[in-house]
Amino acid sequence: MKNLLVSIDRLGDFDEIVDVRTPLEFAEDHIPGAINAPVLSNEERVIVGTMYKQVSPFEATRVGAAMVARNIAMHLDTLFADKPRNWRSLIYCWRGGKRSGSMATWLNLIGWQARQLDGGYKSYRREVIERLGALPGRFRYVVLIGHTGSGKTRLLQALRAAGAQPLDLEGLAAHRGSLLGALPGRPQPSQKGFDSALVETLAGFDLAKPVFAEGRPAHRLDHPARCAARQPACRVVHGSGGAARGPHRVFAAGLRASFRRCRLLQDAVVEAGRAAQPRARGALASAHR
């Protein structure tokens, strides 16, 4: 089976990446772009794990193998039914063990070119942590400073539309801080999921161009990407027209408190309207039945 193992640096060599862990594991974090084809459901994994500890490893493996076989058969009839003869897939589980090995074996027996990620998700997670320590310090940042409601996020969106490189940490976290809270209609990712999204975003940036990000007033200011990566803060100076030390520049955004309150109220009304649309459509559909 060792000839089926590939390292984490070969992710781009495959047509599709298949995560065979449980839906709960997949939801917490996964390799970007991967699809979920669990060989054990959330409940089945609990059953097998409990049997392993309370009955015996042999009985747990026997029962688990039957569950895995049924689930692989289901995926062959559904998720993989339309895959072409030359489909090349990379399979991974938690640490590159029996779950991914079982799926890779059957796909290869059928005639597809399937490979197993050496080390599984754990090797990917190590790669993410290593890149979080290295990537943020390679860019020059332009930090937009301003109080809540001053329009920093809108400016980031306008910069993106103009072709610039904005790092929208609130968007990646699906959360706008303690005052405004979670973004409506979007689940907040786990810490691991946020780390993966941050690395993927930074990896897509051009090192020759600056990265725009939001900041807080001077007493709360931190280097945005390093903060997310749990690294020491960069030295930056806040002020109207003030200069920042080093390559990082800071723009101060100042708006009157009354204007900020009006903008926040306007955004809240818009978001409430968007949230009400699905409910309204559902009510209309029920009325026509």
Q: Active-site positions?
A: 93
- Give the Cα separation of 127 and 119 in Å (integer): 11
- CA nearest neighbour of 221 among 211, 235, 241, 210: 235
- CA nearest neighbour of 184 among 273, 275, 264: 275
The gap from C-alpha 187 to its chain's centroid, in whole angstroms, comes to 11
84 burial type by CB count under 10 A (0-12 exposed, 13-18 middle, 19+ buried): exposed
Q: Specify whether the CB–CB gap between 156 and 144 falls below 8 A.
A: yes
Q: Specify whether the CB–CB gap between 254 and 150 falls below 8 A.
A: yes
The token pair at 148 is 């809540």
The token pair at 160 is 């993106």
- Give the Cα separation of 138 and 161 in Å (integer): 24
